[in-house]
Structure 1
């Protein structure tokens, strides 16, 4: 019997390593593939800050494959990553928005370019180390939250459709993170106790403001309150995000704490308000995707999540001319343009979109 081939996207971390281990033990013809996405000018800084995409990570992935007994390939995707992830990230901040680069990376790099390469290698499936689950039936494929609620990564997978899900395997989503670590130790994998990568993988020191300003010169402008009274100057809208309180650069004493409540790229203004001004119930979403491929023809009651670490809250969503209008039961704090809103019914991810707070304007990528 011919074994079905699976290409596992291996970052050099413990999750993707154990994904390859599980599939190998299940009898699949497993091939590890590491994608070179970004070259760090300072590899030492990368290692000290525990970011991905370093030479060390590639070596770790290769050593894991050798230990498991599977082939390992290395492919360079830096040009595609620059265009679809880094350039997108910089452009969004320059527009006064707060993007989530992992969404673009998953959508384009792992589930577009990697899937194409996998088909070229005659693989039936691709697999990743994401903490989410897949359920297949004769008529559809569903995406579910990972069993480990603290590690669930379904939020960053909402852009997937039926084609991608039909080709995808997520073996670690069926386990707790502690179980994954234990499997790695018992198998003697060299990454069993390797720390997880954090923050933005292509910004080793975590200073995204510096990273952006080196690529797009900031344009100074005005800071105003919600009544359009001038409060001071700002160095550039890319230095701010909704809900921000620190590093506002205000001179003098303000009797009440001030927060960024809106960023206007049209007139290059940063609007400040009170904590109460951060709360709202309604907004729009663009670049909408429903995993079953069908936009709802009526309003739908869901649990909606407006950022990766947020708790889902009850909301009603309704499609309007290809966009979505979302209304929460209770006001939510700091709904941020450029972030994703993702919809759940029980443990199933039904879809999501990119937040547009004022009107359904499609985000330019």
Structure 2
């Protein structure tokens, strides 16, 4: 096959390209220039798609003896990922930019261009597997290394995109083994740190980034009875489940911590309450995308709502084009805007964007309302300092 290897400049994509070469494919390396400021340099594990990363990708391609190109997709990236990120936070939702990048850049803009140029597939350094079923259908499955599995951020791919995807690292037992392989191959990125956080916010200050884009929009922090507890500079600085940085002027009567329960950007109100109000028993999600069998009727599945979250058993059904999920095990850490990925065993069936939730112990998924419930954890929904962050976490290169 003619394979277009997406080379980010990290160790994973370099080893993936090397394995594609070993498999006998005709491989061409391409680095996606997504940053409109080409002079930007990478700082440790923060940021990616910088000039340093482009040079690292080129050195790896030269070592592998494959052609290498840099494609400027910065306009697509800004419109489809960065502007979407800002708009989602402005609307009181918690997006995942890595999901959007995979959906709209790596497996839309890049793949479409590759197919038009006569390539058969795009290879990336994601930890996931494409398995051929008995009927020859390409199936998306979890990676062998559960700790590095990235099938969640790929669950947004449709069946045709999965059919044109190669994930050479899917069977790798551990990331340590991938780094050891890079050393054996003499790849110069063998010890390069993984990229974390949001690539277009390399300093990690999501709240500051959003404030710069959206400006100040002051409002009130209130309790569930509407009592004003404090003020804020913009609802975009919060995400459902956040505990720190709430700007509350006085403690709760019982002395227990409070968490963000809902965000109302139109009224500029952030409602906070106790931890027990964060448990979610059902989800309503929109814009479903399927790459496996579509659940028919009430279907027993597992769902996952964050990149490194635990899958939980659930009953899924489609209703009027929306996905409704009743959770057999309640979840916390759920906010509108996050992606819910649907699994059967290790196989990904598809995904949808969460539009609303229902508190555990109340109504079923069909009556879920917007803006309820998340937890106070500092992973995938909130930053550890209590500021807003990407909904399901950044992925590594």
Structure 2 length-normalised TM: 0.86
2:205 to 195, 204, 207: 207
Per-residue deviation, 1:41: 7.9
Residue of structure 2 equivalent to 1:108: 104
Q: Is the 8 A contact 2:159 2:290 kept in 1?
A: no
Residue of structure 2 equivalent to 1:164: 161
Once residues 252 and 229 of structure 1 are traced to their aligned partners in structure 2, the CA distance between those partners, rounded to angstroms, is 12
Q: 1:123 to 1:196 in 2, by over 3 A?
A: same
Per-residue deviation, 1:360: 8.0
- Name stretches of at least 5 consecutive residues in structure 1 with no aligned partner: none
Per-residue deviation, 1:119: 1.7
Once residues 313 and 113 of structure 1 are traced to their aligned partners in structure 2, the CA distance between those partners, rounded to angstroms, is 33
Once residues 49 and 350 of structure 1 are traced to their aligned partners in structure 2, the CA distance between those partners, rounded to angstroms, is 32
Once residues 175 and 161 of structure 2 are traced to their aligned partners in structure 1, the CA distance between those partners, rounded to angstroms, is 25
Residue of structure 1 equivalent to 2:224: 226
Q: Is the 8 A contact 2:38 2:51 kept in 1?
A: no
Structure 1 length-normalised TM: 0.94
Residue of structure 2 equivalent to 1:317: 316
Residue of structure 1 equivalent to 2:148: 151
Q: Is the 8 A contact 1:97 1:336 kept in 2?
A: yes
Residue of structure 2 equivalent to 1:125: 121
Per-residue deviation, 1:345: 1.2
Residue of structure 2 equivalent to 1:274: 274
2:61 to 52, 60, 65: 65
Once residues 329 and 149 of structure 1 are traced to their aligned partners in structure 2, the CA distance between those partners, rounded to angstroms, is 22
Task: Give deviations 1:38-90, integer Å, cap 9, x for gaps.
Answer: 1348724x334542111110000000011011110111000000000000000
Once residues 313 and 173 of structure 1 are traced to their aligned partners in structure 2, the CA distance between those partners, rounded to angstroms, is 22
Q: 1:253 to 1:360 in 2, by over 3 A?
A: closer
SS at 1:209 equivalent: helix
Q: Identify the range of structure 1 (250-259 vs 269-278) with the bigger mean alpha-carbon deviation.
A: 250-259
Once residues 178 and 74 of structure 1 are traced to their aligned partners in structure 2, the CA distance between those partners, rounded to angstroms, is 28
RMSD: 1.6
| Mapping for residues 278-357 of structure 1, pairs under 5 Å | 278-292=278-292, 295-357=294-356
Residue of structure 2 equivalent to 1:10: 7
Q: Identify the range of structure 1 (110-119 vs 135-144) with the bigger mean alpha-carbon deviation.
A: 135-144
Q: Is the 8 A contact 1:218 1:238 kept in 2?
A: no
Once residues 178 and 253 of structure 1 are traced to their aligned partners in structure 2, the CA distance between those partners, rounded to angstroms, is 46
**Runs of 4+ with >3 A deviation:** 39-42, 358-361
Q: Is the 8 A contact 2:294 2:349 kept in 1?
A: no
Residue of structure 2 equivalent to 1:77: 73
- Name stretches of at least 5 consecutive residues in structure 2 with no aligned partner: 358-367, 371-397
Q: Is the 8 A contact 1:49 1:205 kept in 2?
A: no
Per-residue deviation, 1:306: 1.3
Once residues 88 and 351 of structure 2 are traced to their aligned partners in structure 1, the CA distance between those partners, rounded to angstroms, is 19
Once residues 49 and 204 of structure 1 are traced to their aligned partners in structure 2, the CA distance between those partners, rounded to angstroms, is 9
Residue of structure 2 equivalent to 1:93: 89
